[in-house]
A and B are shown apart, each in its own frame.
Chain A
Amino acid sequence: EAQVTQNPRYLITVTGKKLTVTCSQNMNHEYMSWYRQDPGLGLRQIYYSMNVEVTDKGDVPEGYKVSRKEKRNFPLILESPSPNQTSLYFCASSKSGRGPDEQFFGPGTRLTVL
């Protein structure tokens, strides 16, 4: 089954404790992206990647890091999480990242930073 998977689905952590949220897709997509969803704000893009070893900032990159060492994986790293990073995070992928491509979304990771 074609899908985007994320782990963990739920995470509660404390301020300053480094964490990684994994994202993997099995569709051989070149483009991958991370979004955060907050009530009343919709989805905002954090980082995206056009291909292996190529990443770029989205609209809200502060406090996050990403890497793309393999085509299928695109982990999101919070090196020193803060309470304002409490949010629902989605990973997405698409064939090329160009205009008309559909983006496929993972099930989401709900993060709480205390």
Chain B
Amino acid sequence: AQSVTQLGSHVSVSEGALVLLRCNYSSSVPPYLFWYVQYPNQGLQLLLKYTSAATLVKGINGFEAEFKKSETSFHLTKPSAHMSDAAEYFCAVSYLSGYSTLTFGKGTMLLVSP
């Protein structure tokens, strides 16, 4: 069964600092990987996704993530945090075969201080 682990339920950074949100997956077959963001009182919005075309994926709002097969990781980064980045971030995994369930991690709340 597929699974996703997000390290850290809360991450705090200062405005302008590097953002690093960690995601590891377990899989015996190549996965598709996603990062979604949830702003307060809103639904989830896709930030970026990995579909095997390129290991470094760029998304919206300056975020990017790198797929590392050897480490089974898909960490999300942003060089310089902005106050508007404060939100909850979810990593998710799916597969091509059949109708694929999207399995989510438990989420990481990003807190940005001035």
Interface centre among A58, A59, A108 (most CB of B within 10 A): A108
Given the known A-B contacts A43-B90, A90-B44, are A99 and B95 also in contact in the complex, defined by CB atoms under 8 Å? yes
A45 within 8 A of B: yes
| Contact flags B66-98 to A (C-beta < 8 A → 1, else 0) | 000000000000000000000000100011111
Q: A90-B44, A108-B42 are in contact. Are A102 and B99 (CB under 8 A)?
A: no
A45 in complex: contacting residue of B9, B45, B102, CB < 8 Å: B102
- A97 touches which one: B34, B43, B100 (CB < 8 A)? B100
Q: SS class of chain B's interface: helix, strand, loop or mixed?
A: loop
Number of interface residues of A (CB under 8 A): 27
| Known contacts A40-B106, A42-B107, A58-B101; A99 and B94 CB within 8 A of each other | yes
**B49–A105 contact, CB under 8 A?**
no
What range describes how many residues of B lie at the interface? 20 to 34
A34 contacts the other chain (Cβ, under 8 Å)?
Answer: no
**In-complex Cβ contact of B99 among A35, A98, A103 (8 A):** A98
Residues B24-76 near A (CB distance < 8 A): 32, 34, 36, 41-46, 49, 51
Asked if A98 contacts B43 (CB within 8 A), the reply is no
* B100 pairs with A102, CB closer than 8 A: no
Instruction: List 28 A-B pairs, Cβ < 8 Å.
Output: A33-B102, A35-B104, A40-B9, A40-B106, A41-B106, A42-B90, A42-B107, A48-B101, A59-B101, A90-B44, A97-B99, A97-B100, A98-B96, A98-B98, A98-B100, A99-B32, A99-B96, A99-B100, A100-B51, A100-B96, A102-B46, A102-B49, A103-B44, A103-B46, A103-B102, A105-B43, A106-B43, A107-B43
